[in-house]
Amino acid sequence: MNQQVPTLQLNNGSLMPQLGFGVWQVPDADAEHAVGTALEAGYRSIDTAAVYGNEKGTGKAVAASGLPREELFVTTKLWNSRKQRWGRDEVLRAFDDSLGKLGLDHVDLYLIHWPRPMRDDFVSIWKTFEEIAASGRAKAVGVSNFRPEDLERLAAESALVPAVNQVELHPLFPQAELRAVHAARGIVTEAWSPLGQGKELLTLPAVTALADKYGRSAAQVVLRWHLQHGNIVIPKSVTPARIRENLDVFGFELEAADVAALDALGAGAAGRRIGPDPAEFDV
């Protein structure tokens, strides 16, 4: 693992870099170059998903990097869409397909992409994830976009605790209740869209003032906020300079009052969600 990037220990004993590289919305044709640039810059954790359509490009970059497999942490996700019933065979077939596209014999983390509670099948899917974890072909398994009630349902019906829950999380949507549930259950919090997709968040006076104070970019300030809260972050960029900048967040630390100021941005009305609501999302 990159010695510069701290790791968090997952509940299965695996070490996961606290800052990784996300490839959501990166076309497969561009993924090899973007991931290759990230690996050259020092990233060792790569986050992809079946639905992103870029597992092949991601796998090519991993192969071309020449880095030892044990130095890399690769995550992908099951796209449990409503196009079919997700029984054991379908889940295993999807997992095999992802491994084939990545060109790997195992991934470090495999996630259920959405709970889709209206279809009441994530527990049965999780039972197959237990099998995948036991096989060692996924070193750890977890979930994405799960709500507290979804995690409670899993806990009631399975002894295997998700290693990670990857959710929308940023200062405008800090997910304090969910993070507390994670802490109580031994689940690591991973943030997607950690920069709020760069829309409103990075131009807010509270953020730009801290960027000026620390002599850093607004994005670096927000990433520090995540790291100091113990979140894992996976910022995405296809711009080499931005890819390197997002990794350069370990040479400074926000003062407690500044962390609190960013915390306050998401106060009221439970914060502002940018992405879909997991309670309603079903594609």
Active site residue 52: yes
SS3 2: coil
Q: How far apart are CA 249 and CA 192, in angstroms?
A: 17
Check 43, 52, 110, 214 and give the catalytic one: 52
Chain-centre distance for alpha carbon 179: 14
CB neighbour class for 96 (10 Å; exposed up to 12, middle 13-18, buried from 19)? exposed
Given 3-state DSSP classes, what are the helix, strand and coil percentages for the chain, each rounded to the nearest 5? 45, 15, 40
Q: How far apart are CA 189 and CA 78, in angstroms?
A: 18
Q: How far apart are CA 61 and CA 55, in angstroms?
A: 10
- Nearest C-alpha neighbor of 266 from the set 172, 202, 191: 172
| Residue 20 C-beta-side C-alpha neighbours within 13 Å | 32
Maximum separation of any 2 CA atoms in the chain, in Å: 54
Helix axes of 218-228 and 256-263: crossing angle, nearest 10 degrees: 100
Q: So which residues are the catalytic ones? A: 52
